[in-house]
Structure 1
Amino acid sequence: MEAAEPKPPAGADAARRLARGCWSAFWDYETPKVIVVKNRRLGVVYRAVQLLILLYFVWYVFIVQKSYQDSETGPESSVITKVKGITFSEHKVWDVEEYVKPPEGGSVFSIITRIEVTPSQTLGTCPESMRVSNATCDSDVDCVAGQLDMLGNGLRTGRCVPYYQGSAKTCEVSGWCPVEDGASVSQFLGKMAPNFTILIKNSIHYPKFQFSKGNIEHRKDGYLKRCTFDEVSDLYCPIFKLGFIVERAGENFTELAHTGGVIGVIINWDCDLDLSASKCNPKYSFRRLDPKHVPASSGYNFRFAKYYKVNGSATRTLIKAYGIRIDVIVHGQAGKFSLIPTIINLATALTSIGVGSFLCDWILLTFMNKNKVYSHKKFDKMADPPTSGPSQQNSTLSDPRGLAQL
């Protein structure tokens, strides 16, 4: 007798059946079962949710956000500024070259409105400022020779000397003398400052759309020499009076001129490039940028010195300047119709309408009185067929009424 062929293991046979079943199921088409529920309240909720979703996409997404457009934020920008005007203090007349720092005409510059001048400082020894910590003393023992205070005005010599005025004494330092607090004189430059004019020339470019525009009107009749900015009549005349900028920022000019501060001139270019280029216009706004209500850091000031020679000795005039710093900030966004974002947002809108069905199904199966009946109608359950012979399996599969179990 020939040896019987070995039977394949049961696990391999089951794996083949599973693979054939998966392959067959891959080509099946599935469609959801539709049940019509005659319930007016549920129907009102369903249509209301659909309407809200539709209004959100039509009004907010497509009209307000313009999501049918391809967009670009942050335009390439250039800013050129120029200040004009003269003013005077108690001692002299000041022109642009003296009160504007730096003079290059960039997007950030300062207009000096008050100064504290310490004239004729020379290298030598003198009393330290009383504002410096541990500067006051009673005798030379209180002063350590060679000590250097990073917030002070020089290297201590080790001697305790009388202060510039009064009976107090401070440690002597070697540096530029006299120190600032001992001989400074205040001068106010802000009397004519509100009438200073500031030209802000701005050009922007959106590289994605190859769109460029500037904020100055192209005219050859000397228009810029006789105009000042007005939102209605002279939008493309970017010449602003300093007093106008401070007022629009909500500040008091006299107070700001004494303490100093930072004002932002914000130019916003929001352009809908589906419209003509004439509809893309700059929008100006003004606000104070530095922390006004924080005493420790309010105001704005800086120091600089002018050096010269007196009888061959190095001499300087130290100036502590208070002023109004102008920061020109440019931002914007451009958009133009594009098919890809339109299709994406339409598909999202159509898909989101299905949220109404999900919400109503949840209400139907959770809170309705006949939720078990609805659950039975909505979900069909099929039990595993009993294990039997081939004839019984064939009869079960051939019985059309067996579909009632699905």
Structure 2
Amino acid sequence: YVVFIYRLYQETDEVNSSVRTSLKGVAYSNNRTWDVAEYTLPTMATNSFFVVTNLIRTENQVERECPEYPFNKSVCSSDEFCEKGRVDVHSNGIQTGRCVNYNATVKTCEVHAWCPVESTENPPEPAVLRSSENFTVLIKNNIHFPKFEVTVLNVPSTLDTSCMYNKETSPLCPIFRLGDILQEAKENFSKMAIKGGIISIEINWDCDLDSWFYSCNPKYVFRRLDHRKITPGFYFRDAKYHRLPNGEEQRTLFKVFGIRFDVLVFGTGRRFNGIALIKNLGSMISYFGLVAVIIEIVISVGSWYSGSKSAFYKVYNRKKYDTVLNPSQVMYVSFVDEPHVTWIKKPLKTSLQHAKGHIVESHPVKCCAAGSCCYTESNENHSNEESKPTHTNESNRSRDNEEAELKQPLTQEASSSVRPEWCCCGECRPTQEHQEQLCCRRKEGRCITTSLCFQQLVLSRHSLERALLYTDPFADLSGDGVATRLRHLAHQRYLHWRFGSLDPEDRAIIPSCCRWKIKDTYSKAVNKCTDVKKE
């Protein structure tokens, strides 16, 4: 969307331009006919034209001595106030050192200048050529795009000379009425004509040079450039010289006020370019990388203001960074009354039961439903299910009741007589090793070793023997080492049951109550069991 709206599939080129103007119009004012030669003067700036609107005429000036026009530094009362040879920036000539009468009431210093000197009175109101607002100008603008070798002209090949520019009805006509130009610039021509001013005529070209979407027409904008309140206006002086019969040179001085029109041309040409498209697409894609940086900055600043205590920042930080620890320094534990696996870092300063750990985020929810765990017993009785449907329903209800009982607090009768302070199930045995001080529960309740699932999945000798025969059909189940193999397999079943797909068998710790229950069941084992790795 952005590529097509901003035309990022095109390369661009800046415009080169030339401007020509042609003024038309005649006016009659002050008993004088004003034609183009009278009110238009040679160009004073590039791409501009000037129209006279008002003037102050000082006639029959010759070079001699005469009184200066009165101003603060030229008024005097005696010759002492006048300095011979003195020149002031506001003076019309060079002082002679004499104080003479300017009129019956005012004396000024005499100067050697073109006399009589120009009066600095305000320009006449209304303006002499206020009717010049009806003059017209034809603006011819040629533009060229050197990169694409394309030249365009704002004048059509068959120009209708009777057309007149109008923003709504004739926006492409290159003939403009001066009064309309000032109206578009939100100016009053009659007021501006008194002191003059500067108006810009902006021609904007936005050209699509692709043949399938070709469009290249000018748009005209008008505005005033000189300030309306701070020294407004535009004027200059001009003189016309001639010689008297006695050979003396004489001139007529004109202080000319008028409006200068500056034609300013702007433009851009565009044409399809595959390289520009690929480059701009690559630049846009790179901006997406900034999004992550900006979000990171915002979250960091927000956490700094909140003292890094917000719950959102803690979750964000935990999700963003993975904690990588030495496997030999990590232990995993699983409690029957918690749905997740917890990892604890070594070395231990207290019992493993009371050590603070962290939840394994990637670990799935443990499934320890009695029906799904005790699959061996169910498979064994599969042939009897159709004949004993009532027994199956009662078995399912008993398993459900057992799961609920495992969540209940431990009763006084269920506790053993010798119970360590870290034990919550009443079946654990005392030990001095912190690593072995682990119960099957986090809170007080029934021991997992009393559950039907533990009995069938971990302690069932028939189930374990079938598992050994599944691996080795010709295994000797009557030898002396079979108890050790059964105990080892019971440990494996417990770990798979309680730790699921995490499979941290070499770092998972089996609770004290479960280890002793397995050891008591298969008592012929010699070595002490703590976990699979130690086994």
TM-score by length of 2: 0.55
- Residue 152 of structure 1 is matched in structure 2 by 91
Q: Deviations over 1:279-327 (max 9, x none)?
A: 2100001110111121xx2111110000001121100000000101111
Change (3 A) 1:333 1:195: same
- Residue 278 of structure 2 is matched in structure 1 by 343
Specify every segment of 5 or more residues in structure 2 that has no aligned partner in the other structure, as ranges: 329-502, 508-535
Helix, strand or coil: the match of 2:311? coil
1:249 to 185, 194, 219: 185
Separation in 2 of the partners of 1:102 and 1:121?
A: 24
Q: CA deviation at 1:67?
A: 2.3
Q: CA deviation at 1:278?
A: 5.6
- Residue 46 of structure 1 is matched in structure 2 by none
Is the 8 Å Cα contact of residues 123 and 195 (structure 2) preserved in structure 1?
no
Matches within 5 A, 1:1-400: 58-59=1-2, 62-73=3-14, 75-102=15-42, 107-131=47-71, 133-163=72-102, 165-181=103-119, 188-219=127-158, 223-274=159-210, 279-294=215-230, 297-311=231-245, 312-358=247-293, 363=299, 369=311, 371-372=313-314, 375-376=317-318, 378-382=320-324
Separation in 2 of the partners of 1:184 and 1:177?
A: 20
Percent identity of paired positions between Structure 1 and Structure 2: 39
Q: CA deviation at 1:338?
A: 1.9
Q: CA deviation at 1:229?
A: 1.9
Is the 8 Å Cα contact of residues 82 and 200 (structure 1) preserved in structure 2?
yes
Change (3 A) 1:359 1:309: closer
- Residue 423 of structure 2 is matched in structure 1 by none
Q: CA RMSD in A?
A: 3.2
The one-letter code matched in structure 1 to 2:118 is: E
Is the 8 Å Cα contact of residues 193 and 242 (structure 1) preserved in structure 2?
yes
The one-letter code matched in structure 2 to 1:68 is: Y
The one-letter code matched in structure 1 to 2:242 is: Y
Separation in 1 of the partners of 2:161 and 2:264?
A: 25
Q: Deviations over 1:104-130 (max 9, x none)?
A: 996212100111000000000111111
Specify every segment of 5 or more residues in structure 1 that has no aligned partner in the other structure, as ranges: 1-57, 387-399
Is the 8 Å Cα contact of residues 118 and 183 (structure 1) preserved in structure 2?
no
Larger C-alpha radius of gyration, 1 or 2?
2
- Residue 34 of structure 1 is matched in structure 2 by none
Helix, strand or coil: the match of 1:304? strand
Separation in 1 of the partners of 2:313 and 2:29?
A: 87
Is the 8 Å Cα contact of residues 305 and 316 (structure 1) preserved in structure 2?
yes
Helix, strand or coil: the match of 2:148? coil
The one-letter code matched in structure 1 to 2:224 is: R
Q: Deviations over 1:131-183 (max 9, x none)?
A: 3x4100000111011111232111100111111x4401110000100000189
The one-letter code matched in structure 1 to 2:60 is: S
The one-letter code matched in structure 1 to 2:311 is: N
Is the 8 Å Cα contact of residues 124 and 194 (structure 2) preserved in structure 1?
no
Separation in 2 of the partners of 1:374 and 1:80?
A: 67
Change (3 A) 1:370 1:314: closer
Q: Deviations over 1:6-48 (max 9, x none)?
A: xxxxxxxxxxxxxxxxxxxxxxxxxxxxxxxxxxxxxxxxxxx
The one-letter code matched in structure 1 to 2:244 is: V
- Residue 11 of structure 1 is matched in structure 2 by none
Helix, strand or coil: the match of 1:113? strand
Helix, strand or coil: the match of 1:279? coil
Change (3 A) 1:94 1:320: same
Aligned positions, number: 324
RCO greater where, 1 or 2, for CA within 8 Å and sep 6 or more?
1
Q: CA deviation at 1:333?
A: 1.2
Is the 8 Å Cα contact of residues 72 and 208 (structure 1) preserved in structure 2?
yes
Separation in 2 of the partners of 1:107 and 1:338?
A: 33
Separation in 2 of the partners of 1:193 and 1:283?
A: 25
The one-letter code matched in structure 1 to 2:117 is: V
The one-letter code matched in structure 2 to 1:179 is: V
- Residue 13 of structure 1 is matched in structure 2 by none
Is the 8 Å Cα contact of residues 267 and 284 (structure 1) preserved in structure 2?
yes
Separation in 1 of the partners of 2:146 and 2:156?
A: 22
Change (3 A) 1:247 1:185: closer
- Residue 393 of structure 1 is matched in structure 2 by none
Change (3 A) 1:184 1:120: farther
Is the 8 Å Cα contact of residues 87 and 189 (structure 1) preserved in structure 2?
no
The one-letter code matched in structure 2 to 1:66 is: R
Separation in 1 of the partners of 2:96 and 2:295?
A: 87
Q: CA deviation at 1:383?
A: 6.2
